[in-house]
């Protein structure tokens, strides 16, 4: 088996510039090395061999690299493989320009490693907790920064700076700051739009430390005061989010937890007069996906959405209440997951003639117009599943 770190990707037109290199998580998890070009080789008869790129003179001159890369020279990998020619080969991690393994075997081994990486050990949990602590420093200052006239981009800059000052070495993913109608765009990148009184702003951001990231979402009224509609919707979402968080118990199927949350959100929308049908019908017909179109959450750790996917033995991606989940598995001890339900008024969904016809009798379409101005809400915490119950690593960040 070869576990490949990967190589830097050049920026188009950037000549010798590359995007920041991130080693494939399978490689980094097994080796602890972030260096590009490395390959871990495994022979069941002889164990592991660690091949790395030597540090070049150019790296010493331009980047101040010092010492040695350690391990064996990656140039010797060819001879290592030739000694084992004729035996099945699995290649996992990043693509390798020269070595291609048996496709089915490689896929099988990749799934096995991914499953092995799901439980987080104490060291991994500590790194995520430190990333959360760095992130919390920024979230603590948001109420004083969020004011009418402030731009989304200004908030993102201040927030990320506090992450770094708190000890993060980078952000875990692209910071999302969406105000007004932009809060209903699930992955909205912070723009120059300036917030107005009476609007909401949704912020989804987290700092990362040694590759392990926090992933947090909160929503705020721009002028510090909730309107009646905003408060009512937030109360429904918050209760559903807390219930889902408390439901993160060993053995619970993630798909069932999503369905329970979707049903609870549908009940809330019914109480507000937005949905006409029962909660069960809203879930079974997938009408709830008009307002909750994504999964309840995903696994977290070495990067965002770390080691998600299907449980061993499952091969088909299933749909739950109209959403394709990033993970379909039973929760186990030491799994670290995000819990992030949302409620949104997305024009691309709610103004779609086909969806309106499909769910004509299930949604009170005449009552939607005043809600469309609200945008969207999402609340996200990072939860460690333990035999004693869920441990919320982001509980100190007010929501």
Mean pLDDT (whole number) for 55-68: 86
Q: Which of these ranges, 53-57, 131-135, 156-160, 352-356, has the smallest mean pLDDT? A: 53-57
- pLDDT tier, 96 (very low <50, low <70, confident <90, very high otherwise): confident
pLDDT band at 396 (very low <50, low <70, confident <90, very high): very high
pLDDT at 289: 98
Tell me, what DSSP letter sits at residue 329? S
pLDDT of residue 14: 75
Provide the pLDDT for residue 217.
Answer: 98
Q: In the chain, what is the greatest distance between 2 CA atoms, to the nearest angstrom?
A: 73
* The pLDDT of residue 375: 96
Closest CA to 183 of 379, 362, 334, 352: 379
**Residue 97 banded pLDDT, cuts 50, 70, 90:** confident
Whether pLDDT at 13 is above 80: yes
d(CA 135, CA 133) in angstroms, rounded, equals 5
Average pLDDT, the chain: 96
Model confidence band, residue 65 (pLDDT cutoffs 50, 70, 90)? confident
Of the two residues 165 and 56, the one the predictor is more confident about is 165
Q: Which tokens belong to 331? A: 């929760």
Cβ(198)–Cβ(227) under 8 Å? yes
Cα torsion through 294, 296, 299, 302, rounded to 10: 60
Is the model's pLDDT at 16 over the cut of 90? no
Locate 390 and state its tokens: 């869920």
Rounded Cα distance between 249 and 246, Å, is 7
Q: Are 391 and 131 in contact (CB under 8 A)?
A: no
Residue 296 has pLDDT above 80, yes or no: yes
Task: Return the sign of the alpha-carbon dihedral for residues 338, 233, 349, 364.
Answer: positive
The strand pair at 72-73 and 47-52 is best described as parallel
Q: How far apart are the first and last CA of the chain?
A: 46
Nearest residue to 393 via CA among 199, 2, 21, 127: 127
């Amino acid at each position: 088996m070869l576990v490949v770190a990967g190589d830097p990707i050049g920026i188009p037109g950037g000549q010798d510039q590359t995007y920041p290199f991130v080693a494939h998580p399978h490689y980094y998890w097994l080796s602890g090395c972030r260096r590009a070009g490395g390959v871990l080789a495994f022979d069941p008869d002889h164990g592991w061999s660690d091949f790395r790129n030597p540090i070049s003179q150019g790296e010493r001159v331009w980047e101040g690299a010092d010492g040695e890369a350690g391990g064996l020279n990656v140039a010797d990998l060819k001879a290592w493989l030739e000694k084992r020619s004729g035996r099945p080969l699995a290649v996992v991690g990043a693509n390798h320009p020269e070595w291609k393994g048996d496709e089915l075997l490689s896929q099988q081994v990749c799934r096995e490693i991914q499953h092995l990486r799901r439980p987080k050990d104490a060291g991994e949990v500590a790194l995520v907790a430190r990333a959360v602590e760095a992130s919390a420093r920024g979230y603590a200052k948001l109420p004083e920064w969020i004011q009418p006239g402030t731009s989304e981009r200004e908030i993102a800059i201040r927030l990320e700076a506090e992450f770094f000052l708190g000890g993060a070495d980078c952000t875990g993913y692209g910071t999302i700051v969406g105000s007004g109608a932009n809060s209903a765009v699930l992955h909205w990148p912070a723009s120059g739009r300036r917030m107005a009184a009476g609007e909401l702003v949704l912020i989804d951001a987290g700092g990362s430390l040694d590759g392990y990231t926090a992933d947090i979402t909160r929503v705020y009224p721009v002028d510090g005061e909730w309107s009646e509609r905003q408060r009512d919707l937030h109360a429904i979402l918050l209760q559903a989010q807390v219930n889902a968080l408390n439901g993160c118990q060993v053995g619970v199927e993630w798909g069932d937890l999503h369905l329970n949350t979707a049903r609870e959100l549908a009940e809330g929308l019914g109480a507000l007069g937005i949905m006409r049908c029962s909660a069960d019908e809203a879930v079974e017909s997938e009408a709830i996906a008009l307002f909750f179109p994504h999964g309840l959450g995903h696994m977290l750790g070495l990067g965002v959405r770390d080691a998600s996917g299907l449980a061993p033995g499952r091969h088909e991606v299933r749909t739950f209440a109209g959403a394709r989940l990033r993970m379909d598995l039973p929760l186990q001890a030491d799994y670290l997951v995000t819990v992030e339900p949302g409620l949104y008024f997305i024009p691309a969904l709610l103004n779609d003639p086909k969806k309106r016809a499909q769910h004509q009798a299930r949604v009170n379409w005449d009552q939607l117009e005043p809600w469309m101005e609200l945008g969207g809400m999402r609340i996200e915490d990072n939860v460690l599943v333990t035999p004693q119950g869920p441990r919320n690593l982001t509980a100190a960040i007010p929501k």
